[in-house]
Amino acid sequence: MCVNNKLCPCGTGQSYVDCCGALHSGARTAATAEQLMRSRYSAFAVSDEDYLLRTWASKHRPASAGTDAGDRWLKLEILATENGGLLQNEGVVEFRAHYVGGVVHERSRFVRENGQWVYAEAL
């Protein structure tokens, strides 16, 4: 799926290239836990399994992220954030991720690992 000239799936209103695409390519890293959450949602939307695994805490990382190119992700809603800022090492993001056939509602914990934000676990 080519998303380079399209709006980013994460819902910021920016182009994919300038938003989550820059994180997926490694040109930038997430500055906050929420930014990482948004980029991981976009990675599911564009089936970027490598990025999802790279941004999963090593302690909890599965063998596969479970992406499916046939999944159609529709919208991300950030409901709440706790901590996870520029100078913090841990944060929680509550979100709803809408896809054809349902909704994922989760409170996710993010931590810094080797200076980078990573997804730790669902709470």
pLDDT tens sequence across 24-63: 999 999 999 999 999 999 999 999 999 999 999 999 899 9
**pLDDT the model gives residue 1:** 45
* pTM: predicted TM-score of the whole model, two decimal places: 0.93
Positive or negative: CA dihedral 116, 55, 13, 28 = positive
Judge whether residue 108 has pLDDT over 50. yes
- 61-95: per-residue pLDDT in tens? 999 888 777 789 999 999 999 999 999 999 999 99
Q: Which residues contact 66 (CB under 8 A, 6 or more apart)?
A: none
